[in-house]
Amino acid sequence: MKIDFVVPWVDSSDIRWQKKKNSFLLQQNDNMDNDVGVLRYRDTNTLKYLLRSIEKNCPWYNKIFIITEGHKPNWIDINSNKIIFISHQELYFDNNHLPTFNSSSIEMNLANIKGISEYFVYLNDDFLIMNPLEQNRFFVDNKPVDFLIHGWIPRGKIYQHLRDDSSWVKSLNNNISLINKIHKPTHISNKDNIFFHHSYPFKGRISNQLLLHVYKKYFFISHWHNAQPYKFSTIKEVYNKFAKEMMQCSQNKFRANNDLTQYLYRYYHLTKGDFYPYFYNDDFKANIKSLSSLNEIISQIEQVKPNFVSIYDNYDINEHDTIVNRLTDFLETKFTQKASFEK
């Protein structure tokens, strides 16, 4: 079974890129920091260790596709047959939508990737695979391993007021709105397995009971924020159904309220019932707020030994160098061996 990995990445230290972004940012109005601020683009130098983690812990991988504006790290052998760089110009259906500084825009064009396997895993550049994994962690019976657990309350105005009023929450609601036009919970035939799998938490199964018998439509599908398996045929199917809405998002140079996200693909295969149900509780969210919090996170990772770590960088800019150095030192102890495609 050929399984590729797909990673979007931007070199935010590129002065030329910074000037271009800032020139377009001047044309934006009412931007939230969560949508366009430094946290949205900051690089904690994790790409190298993500790639090492794939080769070390998923040695069965086929190829790694890296989506960039054109940036190529100088430590990667660009002639390696294991790494495929895809520029935005090659990826986009419509190059008039470029340049972009919006990851959601990029994700609307995934159906245009050339040469990718039917089965692939999508990761952000700040995800890490910490332990050896078999292919069946991602795909079983030619289906992505995933879970469908519905939420308790909508991400409506009250939720947005109390929790998050950024375009990200609105984009998740936009995903759900499209899904509700074509899929209903009652459409799924194998309900016991899809909605009440024994691996699901008890509260999740209760919530799914409400979905089926009370709500009868989707309004909040729970996420895991780590490596996401997909079938490329699903990506193309979603694009064929929602190309108009997806291309509206593709035009957004920065995050916007009418965005969609890559979770549209996930919602689609979940609500179609085209996945292998299993709820893994094997990820760790590393929310780095300061150097002291990073030290605590490292201690917890050593104790918990999760399969996946996703890094959130919410620290003050003044601590950037110190935090990156500490994180790099830690990751060097975990991934000491250079990947085959490193110079």
pLDDT digits (tens, 9 = 90+) for 248-292: 999 999 999 999 999 999 999 999 999 999 999 999 999 999 999
pLDDT at 41: 62
Cα 343 to Cα 341: distance, rounded to the nearest angstrom: 7
pLDDT at 32: 53
169 domain residue, yes or no: no
Q: Record the tokens describing residue 279, joined without a space.
A: 């709820």
Cα 219 to Cα 210: distance, rounded to the nearest angstrom: 12
Dihedral angle sign, alpha carbons of residues 328, 331, 336, 342? negative
Q: Record the tokens describing residue 297, joined without a space.
A: 């996170």
114 domain residue, yes or no: yes
| Structural domain for 250, as ranges | 3-144+227-334
Q: What percent of the chain is predicted at pLDDT more than 70?
A: 96
257 domain residue, yes or no: yes
How many structural domains does the chain have?
1
How would residue 34 be classed by pLDDT, with cut points 50, 70 and 90? very low
Cα 264 to Cα 241: distance, rounded to the nearest angstrom: 11
Task: Answer yes or no: is pLDDT of 150 > 90.
Answer: yes
204 domain residue, yes or no: no
CATH of the domain at 39: 3.90.550
Q: What percent of the chain is predicted at pLDDT more than 90?
A: 83
183 domain residue, yes or no: no
Directed axis angle between helix 320-334 and helix 47-57, to 10°? 10
pLDDT at 313: 84
Task: Answer yes or no: is pLDDT of 165 > 90.
Answer: no
153 domain residue, yes or no: no
168 domain residue, yes or no: no
205 domain residue, yes or no: no
